[in-house]
Amino acid sequence: MSSALRFLSFIAAGFVLVLATGCSVYRPDIQQGNLITSEQVAQLKEGMTRLQVQALLGSPLLRSDLHANRWDYGFAMRKRGEVTEMRRFTLFFDGDRLIKWQGDPQPTATEALKISALSAAAGA
């Protein structure tokens, strides 16, 4: 067998190997945003300051200059590229004071620990 033919056979075998392994692309589990618990939501009170809210819930995922009186919290869990959990929560302020909030039902602290543990175990 000539060296050119051997080289082409080697390239073809490599190409087949790349195609065969390309079907199983690794997609890591990804946790993004703030996982707020129902216990934290229960502690919200109208009239709280922005600092008090931030101390309770953490920094919001989104603060917009166009909507300065609105904070948006979001949480998403992706496993193998597919969204398996998504929660949204929005707070509204009048100046520095909390006036209302709305959003998806939030998990209990126990459920949140399970979600975080699954994410941490997947990343290990």
* Residues lower than pLDDT 50 in the chain: 124
> Residue 101 has what pLDDT?
97
The domains located in the chain, with CATH, are 26-123 (3.30.1450)
> Residue 121 has what pLDDT?
59
Contact between residue 29 and residue 78 where contact means Cβ atoms under 8 Å apart: yes
